[in-house]
Amino acid sequence: MAKSPLDLRGAKARNLRLDVELLARGLASLRAKGHEAVGYLLVFTEGVARRARGWDVVSGDSELQVLVAKLSDSDLHAIRAEKVKNAAGTRSGVAADSIAALGQRLGEEALSSEVSARHPGVKLSDDPPPLGVRWDFFGTAR
């Protein structure tokens, strides 16, 4: 799961915690069916990663790991600009003004790269995903 908050102000910490709980439930559902499962939460800053690593759901599961994306300064600058635009769109009430395409794309690419590096041969799965969630990366090692 790739998440793009650059800080955890306001409701961002709560929302990220809920996403982490969902990831943990997805791992548990795979394990209950007899599968080996590893989960990754990829974030964009070390501060967000430190906070997530301190949550009991993460620290209590060695197969749920928090990673920090290796982004260039220009990518981080562009993501910050996207977030400023999103905030303005949210305040204006015009959904079309609120986008997250860049953060989503960079997060998913970084997550795919990290998974591929850690688990050579893992391929995107055609199997139904755990809990019916469209995960940023759901793969199998067949």
Q: Where are the beta strands (DSSP E) in the chain?
A: 39-43, 64-68, 123-124, 139-140
Q: What residue segments make up the domains of the chain, in order of their start?
A: 12-71+111-137
State the distance between the two ends of the chain, measured CA to CA, in whole angstroms. 21
Place of tokens 């204006």: 92
Torsion sign over Cα 26, 106, 99, 14: positive
Distance CA 37, CA 141 (A): 10
pTM, whole model, 2 decimals? 0.85
Between helix 12-32 and helix 46-53 the angle, nearest 10°, is 60
Structure tokens at 61: 């599961």
One pLDDT digit (tens) per residue for the chain, 142 residues: 999 888 888 888 999 999 999 999 999 999 999 998 999 999 999 999 999 999 988 887 788 999 999 999 999 988 888 888 877 666 656 655 556 788 889 999 999 999 999 999 999 998 899 999 999 999 988 6
